[in-house]
């Protein structure tokens, strides 16, 4: 297979920047009960369905290799409150996505956002939009 599918997940994303159909986003993930770990995720948004708004999605999940995560998280931490973050060089990649109107609050990619909002209020999306750059290299 071209990509190893790890499953299907629901999560809430905060769009940061786009490069063609690829959308770099921030997600808060419940890593421990009550947790709100910030992680970057990459979303394949073929049809530009995701606007510049906090969005709930469901999609197939794989993992991709990236660089400069620590530097990007440092930048984001100066813009919005982030107290726990993932800085690994492998991030979740979501494709075959659908936009959700209702979310499954038992999903950790949803609960982490709920925990964040409970602790700090809704993040100001205007502060993070286009705050990072996204360069994509497709290997065929």
Does the residue 112 lie in any domain? yes
pLDDT of 1 > 70? The answer is no
Q: What is the value of pTM for the model shown?
A: 0.93
Residue with tokens 């920047």: 17
Q: What is the pLDDT of residues 5-22, one digit of tens each?
A: 899 999 999 999 999 999
Q: Is residue 135 part of a domain?
A: no
> 3-state DSSP call for residue 87?
coil
- Residue 140 — pLDDT band, cuts 50, 70, 90? low
Q: Between 79 and 137, where is the model more confident?
A: 79
Domain assignment of residue 76, given as a range: 7-124
Here the tokens at position 6 are 């790890």
In a domain, residue 137? The reply is no
18 within 8 A of 133, measured Cβ to Cβ: no
Instruction: Give the pLDDT band (50/70/90) at residue 3.
Output: confident
Residue 94 maps to a domain = yes
pLDDT single digits (tens) 20-63: 999 999 999 999 999 999 999 999 999 999 999 999 999 999 99
């Amino acid at each position: 297979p071209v990509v190893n599918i790890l499953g299907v997940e629901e999560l809430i994303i905060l769009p940061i920047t786009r490069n063609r159909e690829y959308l770099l986003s921030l997600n808060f993930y419940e890593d421990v009960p009550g947790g709100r770990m910030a992680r970057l995720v990459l979303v394949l948004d073929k049809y530009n369905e995701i606007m510049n708004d906090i969005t709930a999605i469901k999609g197939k999940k794989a993992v991709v290799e990236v660089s400069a995560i620590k530097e990007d998280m440092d930048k984001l931490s100066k813009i919005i409150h982030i107290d726990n973050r993932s800085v690994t060089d492998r991030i979740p990649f979501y494709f075959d996505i659908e936009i959700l109107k209702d979310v499954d609050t038992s999903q950790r990619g949803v609960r982490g956002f709920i925990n964040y909002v409970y602790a700090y209020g809704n993040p100001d999306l205007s502060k993070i939009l286009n705050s990072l750059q996204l360069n994509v290299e497709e290997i065929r």
